[in-house]
Amino acid sequence: MKSIRRTKIIATLGPNASSRDFIKHLALTGVDTFRLNFSHGSHEDHRRRHGWIRSVEEELGRPLGIMMDLQGPKLRIGTFENSEVELVRGQKFALYKEERTGDINGVTLPHNELFQVMRPGLELLLNDGRINLRVMEVEDFGVCCEVRVGGILSDRKGLNVPAAMLPVKALTDKDLEDLEFGLELGIDWCALSFVQRPEDLREARKLIHGRAALLAKIEKPQAVDNLEEIVKVADGVMVARGDLGVEYTPERVPAVQKRLIRMCREQCKPVIVATQMLESMIDAPIPTRAEASDVANAIYDGADAVMLSAETAVGSYACNAVSVMDRIARVTEADPDCLQRNLHTPLTFDNSDNDAISKAARDVAMSRGCQAIVAFTKTGSTALRVSRTRASVPILGLTPDIRVARRLTMVWGVHSVNTSDVSNFAEMVGKATRICRREELANTDDRIVVIAGVPFGQEGTTNILRIARIGEAERPLDDGPLD
């Protein structure tokens, strides 16, 4: 039978994705969802890659998810007379409100809203945290700072303010244009950058209006302070460790990652671990041992997906990076300790039929030696609930909505299939057993667990569990995908 990897792989497309064949190779190597990074590339670049993904999806006959990652606000300083200056510890350095050419004494900060939160003692980070300033005085012209950690500072480097809730919206004018463009294309997930509070997500959700699932990127300390509410509002979460490591300090990121994974599983939301997972493979054909351990530890902790960024966007060994990540995931998942960790993670199940049936499906599959759990789902909720239990067998998510099938490509353990809906018990069992056989998840006479809801086709009514045998009630019907 087919070996199903439970942890999903997300790959970022960039300059490397110059042909349909490149995307097809990535998909065949193991990519489940593709990320379009709207911080780079033109709309035409993204339109072309979106078309190639959908073409490959049709050829391979399996759903492929597409995530658009919005740029968000980029807080940058102005420019210098000679392109750069060298700052030394202890010197004074100003940030000006008004536009002027920068020098060794200061530079323009073209974000007047930031001066609203400036106060003596506030720490400012420049160039991804390589340079550290402390605000000494707030003046009419701007702020006067002391250099705490110096170095070379060049034009338009980024600025971070870790300790302040910034009066900046998560969605810029560029983001609003990009969002509408992506939604018209038909993206499946929208990743929102610069999230500080739940209200940032609520604003985006109103604009998306159900056309895509909403993903919150956790990359700011303020988001960490509001984690529980943010997870409730979002459809999924990304641990964006690169930016988070700048503002929240690297030593605190692992604890946030573990906490988020637990919290998302508790709330039945998929969670992605991202940034620098196989960073050395941008230029090398093999990863470091530390990187292999990093990927494995995310899987041991129960992450739904692991993500490649520059490794596939610009790296020299893109497909090899996917292959390495696939192998690490498979070997880790085969470790009995990995299954035990996931099975024994404390979870709170509510009193709903949905939760009861989902948990029972896992227990029945284990106790009766079933080869798969088949979840009929209209919105994806049933498949998500079964995934949350971390069953030891593959989860076949059957849905009549291709958009749901694509969104489920980011969910742990779910092998999604777009197929027509069922209207009675006989259809349910027949379709489940036929597709399990077709997808090589079970053989003749194997048992499977089937869960669904009555009335059939109605959302949120998971209330049936049935043990079926492959070969039972099968008829040669067309099970999709739908046109």
Report field, pTM of the whole predicted structure over 0.85:
yes
Catalytic residue among 5, 6, 8, 35: 35
- The region that residue 413 occupies, defined by phi over 0 for left and psi between -120 and 50 for alpha, beta otherwise, is left
- Alpha helices in 439-480, H assignment, sequence order: none
In this predicted structure, what is the pLDDT of residue 167?
A: 94
List the Cα angle 147/150/153 in 5-degree steps. 105
DSSP three-state, residue 375? strand
Q: Is 368 a catalytic residue?
A: no
User: For a pLDDT cut of 90, what percent of the chain falls above it?
Assistant: 87
Lowest mean pLDDT across 126-140, 440-454, 463-477? 463-477
User: Is the pLDDT confidence value at 475 over 70?
Assistant: no
Q: Find out whether 31 and 330 touch, Cβ atoms under 8 Å.
A: no
Q: What is the pLDDT of residue 453?
A: 84
- Does the N-terminal peptide bond of residue 481 adopt cis geometry, omega within 30 degrees of 0? yes
Tell me the mean pLDDT in the region 157-185: 96
Work out the burial of residue 21: count CB atoms within 10 Å of its CB; fewer than 13 is exposed, 13-18 middle, 19 or more buried: exposed
CA pair distance 304, 7, nearest whole angstrom: 5
Q: How many whole angstroms separate alpha carbon 249 and alpha carbon 220?
A: 11
From 275, 312, 399, 462, active-site residue:
275
Q: Are 155 and 52 in contact (CB under 8 A)?
A: no
Q: Is the pLDDT of residue 479 over 60?
A: no
Q: Please write the tens of the pLDDT for every residue from 384-407.
A: 999 999 999 999 999 999 999 999
Active site residue: 5, 217, 407, 437, which one? Answer: 217
Is the per-residue pLDDT at 481 higher than 80?
no
Residue 220 appears among annotated catalytic residues:
no
Q: Residue 483: which pLDDT band, with cuts at 50, 70 and 90?
A: very low
pLDDT of the residue at 463: 86
For the question of residue 92 being annotated catalytic, the response is no
For the chain, what is the radius of gyration of the CA atoms?
Answer: 24
Q: What is d(CA 59, CA 267) in angstroms, rounded to the nearest whole number? A: 35
- List, for residues 94-149, the tens digit of each pLDDT value: 999 999 999 999 999 999 999 999 999 999 999 999 999 999 999 999 999 999 99
275 in catalytic set: yes
- The pLDDT value recorded for residue 350 is 79
| Cβ-proximal residues to 465 (8 Å cutoff; 6+ apart), any chain | 357, 360, 361, 364, 449, 450, 451
The CATH 3.40.1380.20 domain(s) of the chain lie at 353-469
The structure tokens listed for 172 are: 């810029």
Residue 273 has pLDDT above 50, yes or no: yes
Across 88-184, the runs of DSSP E, i.e. the strands, are 92-96, 106-108, 123-126, 131-138, 142-149, 151-154, 159-160
Torsions phi, psi of 8, nearest 5? Answer: -90, 155
Residue 72, token pair as written in the block: 């968000």
d(CA 57, CA 69): 20
| Spatial distance between the Cα atoms of 369 and 68, rounded to a whole number of angstroms | 40
Choice among 76, 148, 330, 469 that is catalytic: 76
In the numeric block, the tokens 């940030």 are attached to 95
In 10 A of CB 278, how many CB atoms? 28
| Mean pLDDT, residues 73-77 taken together | 95
Can you tell me the mean pLDDT for 46-65?
98
> 255 to each of 231, 239, 301, 426, how far by Cα in Å?
16, 11, 11, 48
| Mean model confidence pLDDT for the chain | 94
Q: What is the dihedral of CA 180, 186, 187, 192, to 10 degrees?
A: 20
Q: According to the model, what pLDDT value does residue 476 have? A: 45
Judge whether residue 243 has pLDDT over 80. Answer: yes
> What pLDDT was estimated at residue 474?
53
CATH code reported for the domain at 84-160: 2.40.33.10
Phi and psi at residue 356, in whole multiples of 5°? -60, -45
Check residue 458 and give its pLDDT.
72
Which residues lie across from 153 on neighbouring strands?
Answer: 85
Contacts of 311 (CB under 8 A, 6+ apart): 12, 277, 278, 279, 281, 282, 317, 318, 321
Instruction: Supply the pLDDT for residue 79.
Output: 97
Residue whose entry in the numeric block shows the structure tokens 């006959």: 61
What are the structure tokens assigned to 277, written together?
A: 């997972």
Give the confidence band of 482 by pLDDT, cuts at 50, 70, 90. very low
CA distance 426 to 413: 26
Could you give the CA distance from residue 220 to residue 34 in angstroms, rounded to a whole number? 24
453 alpha-carbon distance from chain centroid:
29
Neighbouring C-beta atoms of residue 328, cutoff 10 Å: 23
**Ramachandran angles phi, psi of 274, nearest 5°:** -135, 160
Long-range contacts of 316-321 (CB under 8 A, 24+ apart): 316/282, 316/283, 317/281, 317/282, 317/283, 317/284, 317/285, 318/11, 318/16, 318/22, 318/26, 319/25, 319/26, 319/29, 320/281, 320/285, 321/278, 321/281, 321/287
Q: What is the mean pLDDT of residues 298-313?
A: 97
Give the CATH class of 353-469: alpha beta
Residue 423 has pLDDT above 90, yes or no: no
Nearest to 13 by CA among 28, 35, 33: 35
At 338-382, the pLDDT tens digits run 988 888 788 888 778 888 999 999 999 999 999 999 999 999 999
Average pLDDT over residues 279-294: 98
From-to residues of CATH 2.40.33.10 in the chain: 84-160
Domain with CATH 3.20.20.60 in the chain: 8-72+170-334
Closest CA to 408 of 374, 372, 381: 381
Instruction: Please compute the mean of the pLDDT values over residues 14-26 and round it to a whole number.
Output: 97
Nearest to 217 by CA among 199, 190, 254: 190
Q: Which residues contact 200 (CB under 8 A, 6 or more apart)?
A: 169, 170, 171, 192, 194
Please name the fold of domain 8-72+170-334: TIM Barrel (3.20.20)
More confident residue, 346 or 323: 323
pLDDT at 86 over 90: yes
173-180: long-range contacts (C-beta < 8 A, 24 or more apart)?
Answer: 174/71, 175/38, 175/70, 175/71, 175/72, 176/207, 178/38, 178/43, 178/68, 178/70, 178/71, 179/68, 179/70, 179/204, 179/207, 179/208, 180/207
Mean pLDDT, range 297-325, rounded to an integer: 97
